[in-house]
Amino acid sequence: MCGIIGINSNKPVSATIINSLKKLEYRGYDSAGIATLSSGLINEIKSEGRVDNLEKNSLVQNMEGTIGIGHVRWATHGSPNSINAHPHSSQNVSVVHNGIIENSTLLKKFLVSKGHKFKSQTDTEVIVHLITENLKTENIVSSIKKTLKSLHGSFALGIIFKDQPDLIVGARRGSPLAVGYGPNENYLGSDSYALKSMTNKITYLNDGEFCVIKKDQVEFFNEEGIKINKKVLEVSSEEKKYEKGDYKHFMAKEIEEQPTTLKNGINEYLDNSNNNINIYNFPWKTKDISSITLVGCGTAYHSCLMAKYWFEEITTMDVNVDIASEFRYRKNRFKKETLYIFVSQSGETADTYAALDLCKKNGMKTCAVVNVVESSIARESEFVLPIHCGTEIGVASTKAFLGQILILYIFSLKLGLLRNDLKKDVFIQKLKDLKELPKLVKQTLLTDNKIQTITKTFNEAKGSMFLGRGFSYPIALEGALKLKELSYVHAEGYPAGEMKHGPLALIEEGMPVVVLAPRDNHYKKTISNMQEVIARGAKVLLITNKSKDEIVSENIWETIEVESTNEDLLPFLLTIPLQKLAYYSALKKGFDIDKPRNLAKSVTVE
Ligand code: AGP
């Protein structure tokens, strides 16, 4: 998954391309590159690592050309070095690509037999040579049409041509792509966010479409190469600057912001004067929905799992959860009375988008829980529940996770009430408790010093485990994911009751184990499971909530007590020390917290 940008202007474009690439870095930061046309030649400059590296290159600073393309890469084929960085160019054509060409090996064989020479290990380079080959006999539009037909897999492409000083081609299948319109210049970009500093007039390409972007005109074509008309949309021109401020990392800021982002979410959905929840324009009758399927990836999947526990507790609906990359390839029994909910911070995750697309093609009811409201998943879903937590920059999701589970919790309460599964007085009490949540999160955020001192043990251990039951199980999974993605140490989340069926064999003297045991229905059982790991030598970090009852257990290594509230809301509070544990572990190791190795903020390939 990568980010692409293209600008056709009458002014030099390299500085603007670099600025836009910085905005696209959330899609990949292995390497970056730019190509412009000047004096009838394609100039290509690429570098390993961040866009900053590319920008520092003196050749980029003096780069000429009023038409160009740029790219940030997350490596799929070929290691993340400057040779495999995009753009890839022949003498005549230069290409940036987001996606994966699945038949690249076969195509390469064919092209090599025709005399084409390859420089990189990427799948993308076959596109360059295919276009070059097709241009020998076809004009631009038909060579593009022919090339796209030969490609299997997914792509968003930006293409410039040595002999076409006023033309960028954009094409899309699977990966998102937008066109932007400016005064005497037009743009191509992976998303509207990258284009926002230049324009708020956007057209999104649909699958199979391609476009020809000139300075003063944009033409769109369907996959048969037939011209089509597309709507120009006005997206919000508000371009909020989101800075780190005094924080060392965006992640630290995003963790600390959670009381505010939760408050914003609560204010958006709660109707204080009527003790109710406002969900406007819900397109279906609640009697037509008897089950829910939630789909997401990574942290968003953990939000789905969390929601399953709440929906099952609060409503009488059947609830299923699925990892998007599995859902999209299984033989699902689609049911008219099921509401399919797609959870995604970015709204661009390729697997989640494909799962949504599958549901739409089967005529299902689709709802998105997203942070980015202009994203592909939001645009394609019938109904959207935004999480209102503002830009999240840290690759490790924190405030978006709490934002997602907040909105899913609110939604479960609303459906519970509408279906008469939840009594009005219970509903009102739950709303009352919910309003207190931001304050409790703020207090829980104060537990800091203890976490900093215990990170050493987690960093030095071979691995660690995170255990929980019931509402705490999805949080255990999330805690383990945070630690591994930031600190690069092995960490596994498990249902505490499952340990004896195998994973207990991993426990050895000194192994750190986080046990989430809030004083809920599962407390006693979880404490027993905790004893089982302590007996085998584990160093247990117990995370529970404050209570007047003493903890009846011995040999606990460390205990952290979060604030107390009703059982439903404890998962929010339990998450906080786990986020901090991951943060401080990575900080101690000196790792790049906001951009961990091998990852990207938005995963736009499958
Ligand atoms: C979270 O810390 C991860 N970086 C990752 O699991 C993420 O949640 C996942 O890729 C899904 O992203 P999305 O919410 O943008 O769809």
Average pLDDT, the chain: 95
* Contact between 128 and 44 (Cβ < 8 Å): no
Q: Which tens digit of pLDDT belongs to each residue from 520-577?
A: 999 999 999 999 999 999 999 999 999 998 877 789 999 999 999 999 999 999 999 9
Task: Please give the distance, rounded to the nearest whole angstrom, from the Cα atom of residue 369 to the centre of ligand 1.
Answer: 13
> Is the confidence at residue 393, as pLDDT, over 70?
yes
* Contact between 148 and 173 (Cβ < 8 Å): yes
Task: Please give the distance, rounded to the nearest whole angstrom, from the Cα atom of residue 398 to the centre of ligand 1.
Answer: 10
Give Cα 314 distance to the centre of its chain.
28
- Which of ligand 1's atoms lies nearest the C-alpha of 396? 2
Res 75: pLDDT: 87
Using CB distances shorter than 6 Å, the residues near ligand 1 are 297-300, 344-346, 349, 352, 395-397, 485, 602-603
- Confidence bin at 194 (pLDDT 50/70/90): confident
* Domain(s) of CATH 3.40.50.10490: residues in the chain: 250-422, 446-589
Task: Please give the distance, rounded to the nearest whole angstrom, from the Cα atom of residue 189 to the centre of ligand 1.
Answer: 21
- What sign does the dihedral 597-601-605-606 (CA atoms) show? positive
Res 273: pLDDT: 86
- Which of ligand 1's atoms lies nearest the C-alpha of 299? 8
Closest to 362 (Cα-Cα) out of 316, 286, 293: 293
Which residue among 254, 327, 397, 484 is best mutated to probe the pocket of ligand 1, counting the most ligand atoms within 8 A of its Cβ?
397
Q: Is 2 a catalytic site residue?
A: yes
As its CATH architecture, domain 3-234 has 4-Layer Sandwich (3.60)
Q: Which tens digit of pLDDT belongs to each residue from 151-169?
A: 999 999 999 999 999 999 9
- Which of ligand 1's atoms lies nearest the C-alpha of 398? 2
Provide the 10 A C-beta neighbour count for residue 283: 9
- Confidence bin at 209 (pLDDT 50/70/90): very high
- Which of ligand 1's atoms lies nearest the C-alpha of 346? 15
* Domain(s) of CATH 3.60.20.10: residues in the chain: 3-234
Q: Which tens digit of pLDDT belongs to each residue from 313-364?
A: 999 999 999 999 999 999 999 999 999 999 999 999 999 999 999 999 999 9
Which residue among 345, 380, 407 is best mutated to probe the pocket of ligand 1, counting the most ligand atoms within 8 A of its Cβ?
345
Query: Considering only the top CATH level, what class is 250-422?
Result: alpha beta
- Confidence bin at 213 (pLDDT 50/70/90): very high
What is the mean predicted confidence (pLDDT) over 180-203? Answer: 93
Task: Please give the distance, rounded to the nearest whole angstrom, from the Cα atom of residue 344 to the centre of ligand 1.
Answer: 7
Token pair 């406002």 is found at 278
Give Cα 30 distance to the centre of its chain.
17
Task: Please give the distance, rounded to the nearest whole angstrom, from the Cα atom of residue 30 to the centre of ligand 1.
Answer: 18
Q: Which residue's CA is minimally distant from atom 8 of ligand 1? A: 299
> Is the confidence at residue 238, as pLDDT, over 80?
no
Which residue among 295, 374, 603 is best mutated to probe the pocket of ligand 1, counting the most ligand atoms within 8 A of its Cβ?
603
Give the gyration radius of the chain's Cα atoms.
Answer: 26
> Is the confidence at residue 196, as pLDDT, over 90?
no
Q: Which tens digit of pLDDT belongs to each residue from 440-474?
A: 999 999 988 889 999 999 999 999 999 999 999 99
Res 606: pLDDT: 78
Res 235: pLDDT: 82
Res 239: pLDDT: 65
H/E/C letters for each residue in 71-135?
EEECCCCCCCCCCCCCCEECCCEEEEEEEEECCHHHHHHHHHHCCCCCCCCCCCHHHHHHHHHHC
Token pair 């048969």 is found at 224
- Which of ligand 1's atoms lies nearest the C-alpha of 298? 6
Res 240: pLDDT: 67
Task: Please give the distance, rounded to the nearest whole angstrom, from the Cα atom of residue 601 to the centre of ligand 1.
Answer: 7
CA distance 208 to 221: 9
Active-site residue identified among 23, 215, 253, 601: 601
- Which of ligand 1's atoms lies nearest the C-alpha of 352? 16
Res 236: pLDDT: 76
* Contact between 595 and 52 (Cβ < 8 Å): no
What is the mean predicted confidence (pLDDT) over 81-91? Answer: 95
Active-site residue identified among 2, 297, 359, 367: 2
What percentage of residues in the chain have a pLDDT greater than 90?
Answer: 89
Res 197: pLDDT: 87
CA distance 92 to 551: 72
Q: Kindly state which CATH superfamily the domain 446-589 is placed in.
A: Glucose-6-phosphate isomerase like protein; domain 1 (3.40.50.10490)
Tell me the C-alpha to C-alpha distance, in Å, between residue 4 and each of 13, 127, 177: 14, 15, 8
Q: Which residue's CA is minimally distant from atom 16 of ligand 1? A: 344
> Is the confidence at residue 482, as pLDDT, over 80?
yes
CA distance 66 to 7: 8
Query: What DSSP letter does each residue of 318-338 carry, written as one string?
Result: EEEEEEHHHHTTS-----TTE
- Confidence bin at 1 (pLDDT 50/70/90): low
Q: Which residue's CA is minimally distant from atom 6 of ligand 1? A: 298
Q: Which tens digit of pLDDT belongs to each residue from 322-336?
A: 999 999 999 999 999
For 367, residues 6+ apart whose C-beta sits below 8 A from its C-beta are 339, 340, 341, 342, 381, 382, 383, 384, 385
The tokens describing 277, both together, are 């929840």
Task: Please give the distance, rounded to the nearest whole angstrom, from the Cα atom of residue 345 to the centre of ligand 1.
Answer: 7
Q: Which tens digit of pLDDT belongs to each residue from 400-421?
A: 999 999 999 999 999 999 999 9
Res 233: pLDDT: 92
